[in-house]
Structure 1
Amino acid sequence: MTKKIFLCAISNINSGTCNEDCKFCSQSVKYKADIERYIQKPIETIIEEAKAARASGALGFCLVTARKGLDDKVLRFVCDVARSVSSAVPDLRLIACNGTASVEQLLTLKEAGVKAYNHNLETSEAFYPEVCTTHSWQERYETCQNVNKAGLKLITGGIFGMGETQEDRISMLESLKSLNPVSVPLNFYHHNPALPLKPNPLTTDEALELITMAREIISDAERIMVAGGREMQFGDRQNEIFAAGANSIVIGNYLTTQGRDKKSDLEMIKELGLDIATKV
């Protein structure tokens, strides 16, 4: 049976306003990275992005805010966006990615049409204090548990190449497995010169092996997604990620970095004899 590739697009609906000190994230105000910053992207713009994503074959559309978590104001905005996008592009699966969240907040998102929630563990519990001190890894894990309690589909993954050990990588994957996610986004650290975290790049072969390891450890997940850093990490070997175990990618741009043009990704999938998923 031909492997079907699930495409997902993301929209940074609130950019560069986070007060946390995550050393891997250019959206922290602490590091003054040269990125676009805004409180609320116009809903009309988000709808146009959603339409373009669906036209390119994306089934998932993720609404991302750059904050530690949800408060009443941000929750209202995300719900307004979700209802508007659902009305304009009803066949997109809406995903929210808004940081730490309570069960009550997640149920409110669910009522607004959100189907899944993305909150990454980022790395192992042991290594996390090396990359963030303003909140704990346990808070992230508890939010993922809240997603399951709220009856939303859980999307959770992490970042490779931040200086973690192989033991840290395995520990993170085991933690992800314990949460029973439907999708696991694997990101590869893309350095911004403003960030204090020093690049610790993986070889392409090492990165491909990590995709395979994720598929083996989190075998019940419907999707292993290669997300941020794909173009930089794999270069002209991006076509190998599917043989390694991935069956999902982010199409288009990321939060603060450019992705590959959509046409190239669609051509790559076609040339490999793979099909784009047309239903969740």
Structure 2
Amino acid sequence: MNNNEEIFLCAICNVESGTCNEDCKFCTQSVKYKADIQRYKLKNIEQIVKEATVARANGAVGFCLVTAGAGLTDKKTKFIAEAAKAVKAANLGLRLIACNGMATVEQLKELKAAGVDNYNHNLETSRDFYPTICTTHTWDERYQTCLNVKEAGLKLVCGGIFGMGETQEDRISMIEAINSLDPMNVPLNFFHPNEALPIVENTIDIEQAFDLVELARKMIPNAHKIMVAGGRELMFGDRQYEIFKRGANAFVIGDYLTTAGKTPKDDVEALEKLGFKIAKHMHLMPDEK
């Protein structure tokens, strides 16, 4: 991208933390690995709206409600719907994203009716490599949820994570699968090691990471946003803003789910100093105008 194009900032709200019974080897949210993170059930809605308000003040135009666990239950669907209604009622001008695991068409329609705009469900890696990193559910179940998102009329956000020991062929396979789903946005995550996790280290270097950002942009040409999300600071260090020269046009500001990020103020000041334009309003797709 050039400096005249807008960069979109997104913030996440960790609505429920560290309560997941799945065994994804890259994720500290799993109770199986006993990582030293905060663990709590659903936040109260007042706190969620407060975080959304702060996110908007910090420059975010997207706000994602994330819960731990394999997927939506009827109870969790109702809660996320109520939270979505409350955030929308605050008239903050945020594009609202939900990221709550595997979901049925009916559950997703309930979220859409409550004001959710996008649903984020990542494929994580290739179909072939997936059993290496998770045994409690299948890659096919994840892909089906992505199809359900589209059937429910929500905009799909779908990406993955790099650096877990996968091959370049796995990375290409995942990107091809993501492209087949024609997502609105594609979040790219980079594995953040934690001593509690079975995966010991990130297996890609910074130049490979830049190349993967560029590859995702080339192979998913219709995506409105290629977003660099988890692992940005760790992976790219003081070169992190170069991602925008390689095809990214969005990133997550503030903290991630269980790891700390840079302060939004530092990110915004750095981007402005480099001459980048930061989007002031959420993006609407042609069928939403």
Which TM class, normalised by the smaller chain length? Answer: over 0.9
CA contact (8 A) 1:50 1:89 kept: no
Query: Counterpart amino acid of 2:279?
Result: A
Moved more, 34-43 or 223-232: 34-43
The reply on whether 1:50 has 2:45 as its aligned counterpart is no
Where 1:208 maps in the other structure, the secondary structure is helix
The match for 2:193 is 191
SS in 1 for 2:53: helix
Q: Does 1:129 align with 2:131?
A: yes
Alignment gaps of 5+ in structure 1: none
1:18 corresponds in structure 2 to 20
Deviates more, 1:21-30 or 1:266-275: 266-275
- CA–CA separation in structure 2 for the residues paired with 1:45 and 1:105: 24
TM-score, normalized by length of structure 1? 0.98
CA contact (8 A) 2:194 2:200 kept: no
CA–CA separation in structure 1 for the residues paired with 2:155 and 2:209:
26
CA-CA distance at 1:276 after TM superposition = 1.0
Which residue of the partner structure matches residue 28 of structure 1? Answer: 30
Distance in 1 of aligned mates of 2:113 and 2:277: 32
How far apart, CA to CA, are the structure 2 residues paired with 1:228 and 1:201?
15
- Structural mapping, 1:1-280, within 5 Å: 2-279=4-281, 280=283
Higher alpha-carbon deviation: 42-51 or 164-173: 42-51
Change (3 A) 1:89 1:252: farther
| 1:250, distance to aligned residue in structure 2 (A) | 0.2
Per the normalisation by structure 2, the TM-score is 0.95
- Cα offset, 1:76, TM superposition: 1.0
Following superposition, the deviation at residue 148 of structure 1 comes to 0.7
Q: Specify the code of the residue in structure 1 equivalent to 2:243.
A: I
In 1, Cα distance between the equivalents of 2:25 and 2:46?
A: 32
- 8 A Cα contact 2:102 2:142, kept in partner: yes
Decide whether the 8 Å contact of 1:51 with 1:89 is kept in 2: no
Whether the aligned pair in 1 keeps the contact of 2:155 and 2:184 (CA below 8 Å) is yes
CA contact (8 A) 1:183 1:221 kept: yes
Which stretch of the first structure deviates more once superposed, 90-99 or 113-122?
90-99
Question: For this pair of structures, how many residues does the alignment match?
Answer: 280
Q: Which amino acid aligns with 2:8?
A: F
Letter of the structure 1 residue corresponding to residue 151 of structure 2: K
- Secondary structure class of the residue paired with 2:275: coil
- Give the residue type in structure 2 aligned to 1:165: T
**How far, CA to CA, are the matches of 2:141 and 2:168 in structure 1?**
23
> What amino acid is the match of 1:169?
R
Q: What residue identity is the alignment partner of 1:143?
A: T
Question: For the residues of structure 1 that align with 2:36 and 2:54, how far apart are their CA atoms?
Answer: 26
Segments ≥4 residues shifted beyond 2 Å:
none
Letter in 1 for 2:73: D
Q: Deviations over 1:226-277 (max 9, x none)?
A: 0000000000001110001100000100000001111111012112211111
Taking the aligned partners of 2:157 and 2:122, their CA distance within structure 1 comes to 7
Q: How many angstroms apart in 1 are the aligned matches of 2:120 and 2:162?
A: 17
Percent same amino acid among aligned pairs? 61
RMSD: 0.9
* Cα deviation, residue 278, structure 1: 2.1
